[in-house]
Structure 1
């Protein structure tokens, strides 16, 4: 029979249970505070996008000033009237981000499977060289990339921007997919080979469903990086009709006499956040599983 000893009139299990409950309460309070700290800037930006530009920098806390301030869509109207309309630039960003994600997934899937399952000369050296490219600053190779795209006839095109973004994303993506394939037991492939599976069929019908979290992680990283990237789009795109949303934000930032149109900027940032938040909330479970793929066998 299990008994409990009394310590100061309180049994030891009861004291331990109280400490555990206290730790849980402290943990939840801390989690709520951290969540509010991270959500506060997002709340500020969204609320400011529906206020006049003159007061958009003021804290969006009730009661709002009474000098004509309320819910207004003027910021979105000014943003939509710029250039070829905000929907056009959103479509440009969507094309670049989706194209980058698809190209990155296809190439990293094949490369990760090859590095994980096949043996060839200098395999480890090639893999290390691919990872070493992560240490090269993107700004240092921007000029060679510009000249290379010009030689290929892809300068000032969204397709060329897709190739650039996918190339920059591949080292991390190949590393992620190799880890994902390494976490799959080889016995599964051996059983599939007995059933007649091999080559591309093996990869498509057996391995891909098992590494879906890794694919989601790679695609999500590629999409978010391409959606928010600014420098390459600013340098490589010279035609205003081909601007992406980050470049558009700098173009609409300045109002009359060099003043900053903060209302239009907040509206643009809100529009840019929506696809990223929706995509992450939908895929967050697979994303977390993909990040831990290969960590434990």
Structure 2
């Protein structure tokens, strides 16, 4: 959320050389599926010694998710009038001060949206943990459930599987319930023209 919101503010409200080209390159990254970069990603994570660590999974998840979050936040920041930046600049505020004191307080719904999306994307990720973690004690829930044998399961094992699947969905539901007010505000923002 931090990376996406700061980068979105820079792309939306700051002028710098190569801004449009860099933003388009990041958008092109959306067209690259994770599965197509598995081999170089595995080699890189293995080379820098992060294979089998949580950081080795977190960094690629952040890299793959931040582009979508950047797109959402930039669209939100583009909707905030540029006159606010000009007025704050005239009052002597720095660009970070403008971001921190003006844009972040106006972005509660957008931040809640990207928080929920990034949580759900990361929580449901199966490929990267399966690729980068080999210790069963470190498996995330999505990978741990796959350890159950699906062939010749007894009724008790099927019950355990369903219990695990239900437990796996509870954090996503909790995150959604706590952010539901902000998500609804983000959906209805701009729906009524004043």
When normalised by structure 2's length, the TM-score is: 0.89
Cα offset for 1:191?
Answer: 2.5
Distance 1:232 1:292 in 2: 35
Contact 1:217 1:291 in 2 (8 A): no
SS of residue in 2 equivalent to 1:109: helix
Cα offset for 1:259?
Answer: 2.0
Cα offset for 1:285?
Answer: 3.0
Does the C-alpha gap of structure 1 residues 293 and 164 become closer, same or farther in structure 2, counting only changes over 3 Å? farther
Unaligned runs of 5+ in 2: none
SS of residue in 1 equivalent to 2:146: helix
Cα offset for 1:109?
Answer: 0.9
Distance 1:275 1:136 in 2: 28
Kindly indicate whether residue 84 of structure 2 is the aligned counterpart of residue 191 of structure 1.
no
Distance 2:188 2:113 in 1: 10
Trace 1:212-223 onto structure 2 (pairs within 5 A). 212-223=108-119
Cα offset for 1:278?
Answer: 1.5
Trace 1:240-251 onto structure 2 (pairs within 5 A). 240-251=136-147
Does the C-alpha gap of structure 1 residues 228 and 170 become closer, same or farther in structure 2, counting only changes over 3 Å? same
Contact 1:156 1:238 in 2 (8 A): yes
**TM-superposition CA deviations, 1:228-271 (whole Å, max 9, x none):** 111111111001111000011011x217xx42322111111111
Cα offset for 1:197?
Answer: 1.7
Cα offset for 1:192?
Answer: 2.2
Cα offset for 1:205?
Answer: 1.5
Does the C-alpha gap of structure 1 residues 293 and 229 become closer, same or farther in structure 2, counting only changes over 3 Å? farther
**TM-superposition CA deviations, 1:38-90 (whole Å, max 9, x none):** xxxxxxxxxxxxxxxxxxxxxxxxxxxxxxxxxxxxxxxxxxxxxxxxxxxxx
Q: 1:280 aligns with which of 161, 171, 176?
A: 176
Q: Which contiguous aligned blocks of 4+ residues in structure 1 show a shift greater than 6 angstroms? A: 292-297
Deviates further, 150-159 or 185-194 = 185-194
Partner of 2:127: 231
Trace 1:23-42 onto structure 2 (pairs within 5 A). none
Does the C-alpha gap of structure 1 residues 291 and 165 become closer, same or farther in structure 2, counting only changes over 3 Å? farther
Trace 1:62-81 onto structure 2 (pairs within 5 A). none
Kindly indicate whether residue 116 of structure 2 is the aligned counterpart of residue 116 of structure 1.
no
Distance 2:171 2:112 in 1: 16
Partner of 2:152: 259
Contact 1:183 1:294 in 2 (8 A): no
Higher-Rg member (1/2):
1
Distance 1:145 1:247 in 2: 19
Distance 1:248 1:168 in 2: 22
How many residue pairs get aligned? The number is 190
Report the aligned-residue RMSD. 2.1
Partner of 2:41: 145
Kindly indicate whether residue 49 of structure 2 is the aligned counterpart of residue 156 of structure 1.
no
When normalised by structure 1's length, the TM-score is: 0.60
